[in-house]
């Protein structure tokens, strides 16, 4: 029988409710035992066995809890992750990791001192469409890559004044939110860039923080473009990849988020993470004189892989799939993108 690891979840907003609790409950070996909710008891609706607490100290001081998941507004990530590590817990921090790369390094140093697991929740690495893009790139069927472009398009032209993500504080806005996913995926595929140039804008009426960005990262002969906006009514392709021998174009997004919003999970859905054929990507390539143009089946997405790796890292010493250093590098790229905008120039990547 698997060793049981008790989990404390801090925060039950969209992230805690949609992306963490259902996946934790789907992974053998984890037991969600306490949830911090300040003003409600929503977690009882889907997890009737959990204990709801109002104070984070009730998680930090519980010796039976080994893993703490921090799923709260960005400005609280450093403080709560520090307290969790100081109390001897393993820690998962919702993306973005921290507000600054210096804060990220503080957490990395503390986790090493405490000999605890520390990771950033980058679930989009386990989207089926990204896994497919990675598979196509690694197969070399496009030849030498020359251009990679990834989008997260949204159409939310009306501000939500009460939403903390809409505030004008540092660490808010789409660059930290969706940008964290796009930058992390580029890191997975290509490593760290040589230089960065960026454009950020506030496009919505009465907007107070960045709601549109374009980041171009240079990898010598490869140009990588990352884009996201909140007033894109007709979405662009999610991924566009061009190589010397062919192209791969992919529309649509992974179905797991929508399924989680409907209350489904990997344990009660037979077709979990499977994308319909209508959304498969188009490959057009010519390898060794053989031309192919047609759809490529999308890989199955599965967010449980992330939490299964966390469990195995804690219990068996398995290497982390999402390392905290990668989370720090993502924040550093965001900082350099903001520097590029401020100085209106390309900047070299430096830690």
pLDDT the model gives residue 31: 98
**What is the chain's alpha carbon radius of gyration, rounded to the nearest angstrom?**
20
Task: Say how far apart CA 94 and CA 74 lie, in whole Å.
Answer: 8
Residues 6+ away with beta carbon under 8 Å from 270: none
Mean pLDDT by 10 residues, the chain (351 residues): 91 96 97 95 94 97 98 97 98 98 98 98 98 97 97 89 75 94 98 98 91 97 97 96 98 96 93 97 93 97 98 98 98 98 98 91
Neighbouring C-alpha atoms within 13 Å toward the C-beta of 231: 12
The confidence score (pLDDT) of residue 169 equals 83
Strands 195-201 and 347-348: antiparallel
Q: How many CA atoms lie within 13 A of 164 on its CB side?
A: 11
Nearest CA-CA partner of 61 in 80, 45, 84: 84
Q: How far is CA 324 from the centre of its chain?
A: 13
Q: What is the pLDDT of residue 1?
A: 54
Domains delineated in the chain: 5-121 (3.40.50.720), 124-304+333-348 (3.30.360.10)
Integer angstrom CA distances of residue 283 from 143, 205, 236, 249, 276:
12, 39, 17, 7, 17
Task: Tell me the three state secondary structure of residue 68.
Answer: strand
Dihedral sign for Cα 260, 263, 264, 265, please: positive
Q: Tell me, what's the pLDDT at 158?
A: 85
CB contact at 8 A, 167 and 243 = no
Cβ contacts of 60 within 8 Å, gap of 6 or more: 68, 83, 84, 86, 87, 89
What pLDDT shows up at residue 208? 86
CA distance 130 to 136: 10
Per the CB < 8 A criterion, the answer to whether 341 and 199 are in contact is: yes
**How many beta carbons lie within 10 A of that of residue 276, not counting itself?**
10
Task: Indicate the length of the chain as a whole number.
Answer: 351
């Amino acid at each position: 029988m698997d060793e049981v690891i008790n989990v404390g979840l801090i925060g039950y907003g969209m992230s805690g409710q949609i992306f963490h609790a259902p996946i934790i409950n789907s992974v053998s070996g984890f037991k969600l035992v306490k949830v911090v909710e300040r003003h409600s008891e929503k977690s009882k609706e889907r997890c009737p066995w959990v204990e709801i607490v109002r104070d984070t100290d009730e998680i930090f001081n519980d010796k039976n809890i080994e893993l703490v998941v921090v799923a709260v507004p960005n400005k609280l990530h450093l403080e709560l992750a520090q307290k969790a590590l100081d109390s001897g817990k393993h820690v998962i921090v919702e993306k973005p990791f921290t507000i600054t790369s210096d804060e990220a390094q503080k957490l990395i140093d503390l986790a090493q001192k405490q000999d605890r697991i520390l990771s950033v929740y980058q679930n989009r690495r386990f989207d089926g469409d990204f896994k497919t893009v990675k598979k196509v790139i690694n197969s070399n069927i496009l030849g030498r890559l020359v251009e990679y472009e990834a989008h997260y398009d949204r159409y939310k032209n009306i501000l939500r004044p009460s939403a903390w993500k809409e505030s004008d504080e540092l660490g808010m806005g789409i660059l930290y939110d969706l940008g964290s996913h796009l930058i992390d995926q580029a890191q997975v595929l290509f490593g760290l860039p040589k230089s960065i140039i960026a454009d950020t804008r506030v496009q919505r009426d009465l907007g107070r923080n960045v709601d549109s960005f374009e980041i171009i990262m240079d990898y010598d002969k490869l140009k990588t473009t990352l884009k996201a906006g909140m007033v894109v009514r007709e979405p662009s392709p999610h991924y566009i990849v061009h190589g010397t021998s062919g192209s791969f174009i992919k529309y649509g997004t992974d179905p797991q988020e929508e399924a989680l919003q409907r209350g489904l999970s990997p344990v009660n859905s037979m077709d979990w993470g499977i994308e319909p054929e209508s959304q498969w990507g188009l490959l057009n390539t010519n390898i060794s004189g053989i031309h192919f143009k047609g759809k490529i089946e999308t890989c199955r997405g599965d967010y449980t892989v992330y939490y299964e790796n966390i469990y195995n890292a804690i219990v068996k010493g398995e290497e982390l799939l999402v390392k905290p250093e990668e989370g720090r590098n993502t924040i550093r790229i965001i900082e350099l993108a903001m520097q590029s905008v401020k100085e209106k120039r390309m900047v070299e990547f430096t830690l």
